[in-house]
């Protein structure tokens, strides 16, 4: 007997990649269980989690597949493609496979996953988490993030469209939102990109985004960015565990090399 009902568990934490999935689930109105992962304690590197995602990163998701067996998914972009392929039968936040809009949506989805996310992530690292102030790293990644923002801004304004693939909000928009909402954390001023700023507000007004962004904890980046002192305290906390994780990775890489 095949299972048609979702039985989704989302393994996540309060980050731009994590809320992509909770927003997608909320937009689709699918029930799901949240399992909070404490990345400050490196829970994502524990064996039970690595069995779900060998890359040790959030988000990950498990579901009962149509054959009744569990399916494990990781990589936020891949999870989003899975969720709409399986559950978005009315194309609320996607387009029918094989249509032009479907491929254009994936275009922007990959742009976020391969470009904007990684580059803004590096800007966060050098702006907030690196042990020393390293001007070159800060400006390299802030500039690249600004360039990618301007690609989005020009795309939205020159085509005069409310969402990235036209009139409908899709997973390509959802993938971007958490990152654009935390531009200031990477040291990028969103006011430089008016069409993108208007898009960010348009997205934020959606009930699905509002609900999904507070998973598993309240989404507080906007408030944080308004309070410089609090922001510095938050960065100092994060710096500690980011650097501890980096040290552990470096030691593992070194010892793996020695064993051979």
Partner 1 sequence: MAKPIKVWMAPPGPNPWKVVLILEELDIPYEIVSFKFDDVKKKPFIDLNPNGRVPAIEDPNTGLTLWESGAIIQYLIEQYDTEKKLTYGDVIKKNQLNQWLMFQMSGQGPYFGQAGWFNVLHSEKIPSAIERYNTEVKRILSVLEGQLEGKQWLVGDKITFADLSFVTWNDRIDATLMCAPEKKFDGIPNVKAWHERMTSRPSWKKAMETRAKLMDEQGLQWNGMPKGINNMEEYEAKIKADAEARANGEAVG
3-state secondary structure of 193: coil
State the Cα–Cα distance between residues 80 and 208, nearest whole angstrom: 15
Q: Is 253 in the site for partner 1 (CB under 8 A)?
A: yes
Q: Which among 31-39, 67-75, 207-215, 230-238 is the span making contact with partner 1, rule CB under 8 A?
A: 67-75
Pairing of strands 32-36, 70-74: unpaired
User: What x-and-dash track marks residues 147-176 binding partner 1 by CB under 8 A?
Assistant: -x--x--xx---------------------
Nearest CB to partner 1, comparing residues 205 and 259: 259
Rg, C-alpha atoms of the chain? 19
Q: Which residues pair with 9 in a beta bridge?
A: 33, 62
3-state helix, strand, coil in the chain (%, to 5): 65, 10, 30
**Eight-class DSSP state of 166:** B
Nearest CB to partner 1, comparing residues 189 and 249: 249
Q: From the list 49, 74, 149, 199, which residue makes contact with partner 1 (rule: CB under 8 A)? A: 74
**Would you state the structure tokens that stand for residue 119, as one six-digit string?**
């580059």
Q: Do the beta carbons of residue 46 and residue 22 sit within 8 Å?
A: no
Q: Is 119 in the site for partner 1 (CB under 8 A)?
A: yes
Binding site for partner 1 (CB under 8 A): 54-56, 65-67, 69, 71, 73-78, 81-82, 85-86, 97-98, 100, 103-104, 106-107, 109-111, 113-115, 117-119, 122, 125, 130-132, 134, 136-137, 148, 151, 154-155, 246, 249-250, 252-253, 256-257, 259-260
């Amino acid at each position: 007997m095949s299972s048609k009902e979702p039985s989704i568990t989302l393994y996540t934490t309060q980050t731009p990649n994590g809320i992509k999935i909770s927003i997608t689930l909320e937009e689709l109105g699918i029930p799901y269980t949240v399992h909070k992962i404490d990345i400050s304690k490196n829970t994502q590197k524990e064996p039970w989690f690595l069995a779900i995602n060998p890359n040790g990163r959030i988000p990950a998701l498990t579901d009962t597949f149509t054959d009744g067996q569990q399916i494990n998914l990781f990589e936020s972009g891949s999870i989003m493609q899975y969720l709409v392929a399986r559950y978005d039968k009315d194309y609320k936040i996607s387009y029918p496979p094989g249509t032009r809009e479907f491929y254009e949506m994936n275009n922007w989805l990959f742009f976020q996953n391969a470009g904007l996310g990684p580059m803004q992530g590096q800007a966060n690292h050098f702006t907030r988490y690196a042990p020393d102030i390293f001007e070159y790293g800060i400006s390299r990644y802030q500039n690249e993030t600004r360039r990618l923002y301007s690609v989005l801004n020009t795309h939205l304004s020159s085509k005069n469209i409310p969402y990235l693939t036209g009139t409908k909000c899709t997973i390509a928009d959802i993938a971007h939102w958490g990152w654009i909402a935390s531009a200031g954390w990477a040291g990028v001023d969103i006011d430089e990109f008016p069409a993108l700023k208007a898009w960010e507000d348009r997205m934020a007004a959606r009930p699905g985004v509002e609900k999904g962004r507070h998973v598993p904890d309240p989404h507080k980046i906007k408030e944080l960015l308004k309070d410089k002192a609090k922001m510095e305290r938050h960065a100092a906390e994060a710096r500690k565990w980011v650097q501890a994780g980096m040290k552990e990775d470096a030691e593992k890489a070194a010892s793996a090399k020695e064993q051979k």
